[in-house]
Structure 1
């Protein structure tokens, strides 16, 4: 596991290092010899899922978001989940969701907006609890916004709960927070492949590549050609001709990846996080010109930065806010267009030119808050994993 960005709360899992920021990818020694299958990045905390279904967390724990008692600068196992085989997780501003192999969700951390789905508004839950109101439904995916949560059921239904100040629950109403999962009725009978949540906006992607967005749209982060919030899921008509395969959300911006390897971004651009060599906001999806010609296979949005991975060129690019080292460019400057992340990236085609101990075959990239991660292996087991 390589990590870079803000380390001030221990959210990179590097232990008690002197630096507050890490400006170039560094190996997280804790996971040597362990197989990581998922990473959730919160604002100031991180959760790691191992292949054996165990969960480790590190970083800020002021609201119980680590699922154990104290703040930790090194990953520590969430022992309350010992009896569970966890298969996916997600982190919000200060809360965490974990999904087990039976399709049940466990939640912990900040609950004052109902984002834990536990039918209460308790400020702080430090031990993971099962969301019992979803016990009859098998959940396939979870996604945390800052103060809201969404879940995709294996049957295709989408559920949402938590803060609804910006209509980010997609229920046709605005305002009052909701502490128990509600089905997003307007999306029934549509088969979805992925869900994603940003600061206060949400997305759902169909198997055919249609993209629906709802919630806060102050900066155009829904990509629907205006800046009005949406209380119902709205189809992004401008992406209908593209075969979208993945959606990632930052605090106020969105990036989508197409089957052909193209990247479109929209929403807040004040730090360059859209990659268009400007700090303008974009209310419509706009292709990142400097990534054209490359087949990007993975994207990840942090709070105000974006990562894109192009295995054929052995490179990872980053753009946006850089003040905490989250771009991995050896500097703390913001970047308005894609800049290379300084790392030992390798591809199958060039593997023989590298010392296998030094070259990293990237399996998956992650970003959130002001931190970034790349999960890699040092030998090319087979083909690089394409897409997220």
Structure 2
């Protein structure tokens, strides 16, 4: 890991920042990684989940509020395939399509029917169809079911859940999102790829503005992103920036760039509202070794 480590969210012993990638002791055979605001979840090949970092809301899932500077296994869940971290909550998904959630729950983002924080990873009531994939924004959560329906819960103040109520405490179907095959969440946005490999977005970006030039509207309808000239294969969201990969292998970026997070080099604007195509050299470096990692930070 590398970056800030004040709360042990890198799983490394020194709480100062790490400027270079550093191997995390105690983690082996990791297949999936997700990062929250100040915590991290890793899933290994045996289906165990290891969490570390800030735990003030119980987002590490161990049943307490103790921060952990070293990767610690969640003992009471197993067979996990993937993890999704919001700002201060976490969701874990097993091979049967069952989800477990924990952490901050002010808006019902844990999908458990309450708004009380949950310290121990707790099973979410089964949906009509098994969950194929889970993603988290800052305070909202999204499920993609095996039949390609999309369900959401949590905060909807910026339209990130579409036409659902402002707060949803249980998984609720989002009617606007149909035939979805992939999805990802930013701080207060949800982005999906449909079966035609088109981009569909819900929610606003910073300053009430979409990263794609759209503004918040009361109807909160899903919008299709136009103008990229290519079908989209993959999305990766940070809190306030996004990377897209087209079926041709070309890569676009947009969003915040104040810390150079878009990789556009010196002199680039601090905010890119619409997708910008990366150079061939940057694209080759970016996709040469892909990892499965998601982030929602605050």
TM-score, L = length of structure 1: 0.69
In the alignment of these two chains, the number of paired residues is 291
* 1:48-67 matched pairs, under 5 angstroms: 57-67=1-11
Shift of 1:335: 2.5
Query: 1:227 Cα deviation (Å)?
Result: 5.5
The counterpart of 2:70, out of the listed 124, 127, 135, is: 127
Q: Pairwise mapping of residues 276-315 of structure 1 onto structure 2 (< 5 A)?
A: 276-280=212-216, 283-291=220-228, 293-312=229-248, 315=250
Change (3 A) 1:207 1:369: closer
Runs of 5+ unmatched residues, structure 2: none
2:34 pairs, out of 90, 110, 115, with: 90
What is the CA distance between 1:368 and its match in structure 2? 4.2
SS at match of 1:344: helix
Secondary structure of the 2:227 match is helix
Change (3 A) 1:120 1:340: same
* 1:171 aligns to 2:112 (yes or no): yes
1:72 aligns with 2:18: yes
- SS where residue 78 of structure 1 aligns? coil
1:158 to 67, 74, 99: 99
Q: How does 1:147-296 map to 2 (within 5 A)?
A: 147-174=88-115, 176-187=116-127, 190-223=129-162, 225=163, 228-240=166-178, 243-270=179-206, 274-280=210-216, 283-291=220-228, 293-296=229-232
Structure 1 stretch displaced more, 70-79 or 176-185: 70-79
SS at match of 1:261: coil
The aligned counterpart of 2:272 is: 335
Deviations 1:301-360 (A, max 9, x none): 111222221242x532222223222233441232222222344267xxxxxxxxxxx787
Could you tell me which runs of 5 or more consecutive residues in structure 1 were left unpaired when the two chains were aligned: 1-56, 347-357, 371-388
* 1:369, distance to aligned residue in structure 2 (A): 6.4
Which position in structure 2 is the counterpart of 1:113? 57
Aligned residues of 1:323 and 1:334 also touching (Cα < 8 A)? yes
1:244 Cα deviation from its structure 2 partner: 1.0
Q: Secondary structure at the match of 1:238?
A: coil
1:143 maps to: 84
CA contact (8 A) 2:57 2:119 kept: yes
**TM-score, structure 2 length as denominator?**
0.89
| CA shift in 2, pair 1:66/1:332, >3 Å | same
The structure-2 alpha-carbon separation of the partners of 1:360 and 1:182, relative to structure 1 and needing over 3 Å to count, comes to closer
Aligned-residue Cα RMSD (Å) equals 2.4
Bigger proportion of residues as strand = 1
Decide whether the 8 Å contact of 2:85 with 2:295 is kept in 1.
Answer: no
* Distance across 2 between alignment mates of 1:178 and 1:202: 15
Structure 2 equivalent of residue 350 of structure 1: none
C-alpha contact 2:34 2:294 (8 A) present in aligned 1 = no
Q: Distance in 2 between matches of 1:209 and 1:248?
A: 14
Please tell me whether the aligned partners of residues 40 and 53 of structure 2 are also in contact (alpha carbons under 8 angstroms). Answer: yes
Larger Rg: 1
Measured in 1, the distance between the counterparts of 2:262 and 2:29 equals 33
